[in-house]
């Protein structure tokens, strides 16, 4: 038999229990998150309840609690909107940048748990230097969903969406690409991967999982997307082509790893017996010719035509499927690429030497003419 007011009583108990846990200093963020998820609530927290829970977490986790407590008391009797402002100021009250980021991480993590992340980010966007503050929240959060929410808040109402440098997105890109709930198109919308707008190489202390430059990031992005099983081969092919296009913008040698992924996708069609891939084969050969030269491209064309003939004409009913070792082929391709680039460099050096000799000879001729005219 249901007791009148029983649901409200249970809600009150769960709220006071979670508030008590929020004030426990040694309680980690992950443990607090698990406790919050186990408290069964059919309705979201009230705005006032959510704010008090987040405020309790900040007060318990901040290092300089005396300074934070000053802002805390100022926020007790403020109207909606202003109290979030004072809470953000409390988080930024630390003198150390690292501690400020830790406080912002506490805020974003707690707000996500209690469902008030939008209120926090909207308030941050309205504050002075709101764009820098939202980027700091992105960096501090260590959560790809919070990072995307911060970027979306910054671009809310903008006709042209602003992109943020790839280096601040580094810890989140892999998670964003592997999460089926995140639209991969957001990566191209939110992350600035163009060389003339972003840093090309990071200092060693800022590397993440061995990624320290823009080209390596494009290589890994192609690798991660090719591991996804919820997308079609054509989607993978378009993604790799887009990575190559971004790599070409910078000029210089193209990544062998990106070309290997492109070749792998094209050849996968051949192995599966798919027809109608002439345009893709031609494109692969054109890419190889652009980066390796006509000599190596002719070799690749010969190999691809041979593989395609086998796939089309071989009777797969009684014979094992024709395979080849892609890694060995791409290693050989890499050697050929290095050899081609070495030859090109030597040719360029020879041309420069010839030009220098011609200029020197012209100077000597000019001097002889000058001496002849004098006498």
**One-character DSSP codes across 139-151:** HHH--HHHHHHHH
Q: What integer is the mean pLDDT of 6-35?
A: 85
Q: What are phi and psi of 208, to 5 degrees?
A: -135, 120
Q: If 0-12 CB within 10 Å is exposed, 13-18 middle and 19+ buried, where does residue 152 land? A: middle
pLDDT tens column, 256-314:
788 888 888 877 766 665 555 666 677 777 777 776 677 767 777 776 666 656 555 65
pLDDT of residue 371: 43
191 beta partners: 164
**pLDDT (average), residues 309-330:** 52
Distance between CA atoms of residues 113 and 2, nearest Å: 29
Phi first, then psi: what are they for 63, rounded to 5°?
-80, -50
Least confident among 13-27, 272-286, 315-329, 339-353? 315-329
User: What gap in Å lies between CA 178 and CA 225, rounded to an integer?
Assistant: 7
In the prediction, which pLDDT does 151 show?
97
Q: Is the pLDDT of residue 72 over 80?
A: no
Q: What's the pLDDT tens digit per position in 177-228?
A: 999 999 999 999 999 988 776 677 888 888 888 898 888 999 999 999 999 9
In this prediction, residue 237 carries a pLDDT of 87
73-119: per-residue pLDDT in tens?
A: 665 555 555 688 888 988 888 778 888 999 999 999 999 999 999 99
State the pLDDT at residue 42: 62
Q: Enter the tokens of residue 241.
A: 């082509």
Contact status, residue 258 vs residue 247, Cβ threshold 8 Å: yes
Q: Which residue has the tokens 């939110």?
A: 190
Q: CA 170, CA 154: separation in Å to the nearest integer?
A: 19
d(CA 94, CA 68): 8
Quote the pLDDT of residue 77. 59
Mean pLDDT of the chain: 78
Instruction: Return the DSSP state at 179.
Output: -
Compute the average pLDDT of residues 335-359.
66
Whether residue 268 contacts residue 237, with contact meaning beta carbons closer than 8 Å, is answered with: no
Query: Which pLDDT does position 366 carry in this prediction?
Result: 46
Residue with tokens 């004072």: 86
Among 309, 285, 313, 280, smallest CA distance to 299 is for: 285
Q: Which residue has the tokens 């800022």?
A: 206
| Residue 322 clears pLDDT 50, i.e. is over it | no
Q: Of all residues in the chain, what percent carry a pLDDT higher than 70?
A: 69
Helices in 250-277 by DSSP H: which ranges?
256-271
Neighbours of 139 (CB within 10 A): 18
Longest Cα–Cα distance in the chain:
127
Give residue-wise pLDDT tens across range 229-255. 999 888 998 899 899 888 888 666 777
DSSP letter for 319, please.
Answer: S
β partners of residue 211: 208
């Amino acid at each position: 038999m249901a007791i009148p007011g029983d649901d409200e009583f249970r809600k009150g108990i769960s709220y006071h229990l979670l508030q008590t846990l929020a004030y426990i200093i040694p309680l980690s963020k992950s443990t607090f998150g698990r406790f919050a998820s186990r408290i069964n609530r059919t309705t979201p927290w009230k705005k006032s309840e959510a704010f008090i829970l987040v405020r309790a977490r900040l007060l318990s986790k901040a290092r300089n609690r005396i300074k934070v407590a000053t802002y805390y008391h100022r926020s007790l009797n403020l109207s909606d909107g202003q109290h979030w402002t004072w809470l953000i100021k409390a988080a930024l009250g630390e003198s150390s940048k690292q501690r400020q980021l830790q406080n912002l991480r506490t805020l974003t993590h707690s707000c996500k748990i209690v469902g008030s992340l939008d209120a926090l980010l909207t308030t941050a966007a309205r504050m002075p230097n709101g764009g820098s503050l939202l980027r700091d929240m992105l960096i501090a959060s260590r959560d790809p969903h919070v990072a995307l929410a911060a970027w979306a808040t910054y671009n809310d109402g903008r006709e042209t969406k602003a992109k943020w440098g790839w280096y601040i997105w580094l810890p989140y890109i892999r998670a964003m690409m592997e999460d089926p709930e995140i639209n991969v198109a957001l990566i191209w919308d939110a992350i600035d991967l163009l060389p003339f707008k972003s840093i090309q190489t990071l200092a060693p202390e800022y590397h993440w999982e061995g990624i320290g430059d823009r080209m390596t990031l494009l290589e890994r992005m192609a690798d991660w997307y090719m591991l996804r099983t919820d997308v079609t081969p054509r989607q993978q092919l378009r993604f790799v082509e887009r990575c190559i296009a971004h790599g070409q913008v910078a000029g210089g040698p193209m990544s062998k790893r990106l070309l290997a992924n492109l070749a792998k996708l094209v050849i996968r069609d051949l192995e599966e017996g798919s027809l109608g891939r002439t345009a893709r084969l031609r494109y692969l050969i054109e890419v190889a010719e652009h980066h390796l030269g006509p000599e190596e491209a002719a070799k690749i064309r010969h190999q691809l035509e041979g593989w395609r003939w086998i796939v089309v004409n071989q009777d797969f009913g009684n014979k094992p499927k024709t395979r080849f070792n892609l890694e060995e082929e791409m290693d050989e391709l890499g050697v050929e690429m290095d050899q081609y680039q070495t030859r090109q460099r030597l040719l360029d050096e020879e041309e420069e030497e010839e030009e220098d000799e011609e200029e020197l000879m012209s100077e000597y001729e000019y001097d002889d003419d000058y001496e002849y005219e004098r006498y």
